[in-house]
Structure 1
Amino acid sequence: MKNLIKVERARHSLSQTDLAEKCGVTRQTIYAIEKGKFTPSVILAFKISRILSISIEDLFIMEDKDFRI
């Protein structure tokens, strides 16, 4: 799953640490999500999208490979 967190953070002048503190997670968690190494829980995805004022659908992009069975 791809995401636009890094782009949206920059738009809001937030560092990874700033976003992490607002979400109640570590900076490493935000880093891992941005790099696609970790998929956030639904609750965390909602928190991030609300803080960045963007819908979850616009923030997280599902790829065809994510739907393989």
Structure 2
Amino acid sequence: MITVKYKTNLHCNSCIKTITPALNKMDNVDFWKVDLNHQNKILEVNLDDDNKTDIIPTIEGLGFKIEEL
């Protein structure tokens, strides 16, 4: 398992509700959380493998900015 952190422009619970179905549907995502209190709105994702290639396009496809830290 690996943990990957991303800087995002998520800013509220509505944003989190928007990304929830997409992240929950991903087979290799075990757990994820967003720290809205951090200035970079950190999305932390625990993956059960090292395939993190789908995270960025998935979140960008929902209209948000995201970059790996």
User: Do they superpose with TM above 0.5?
Assistant: no
**Higher helix proportion, which one?**
1
TM-score (normalizing by structure 1): 0.41
**Higher strand proportion, which one?**
2
TM-score (normalizing by structure 2): 0.41
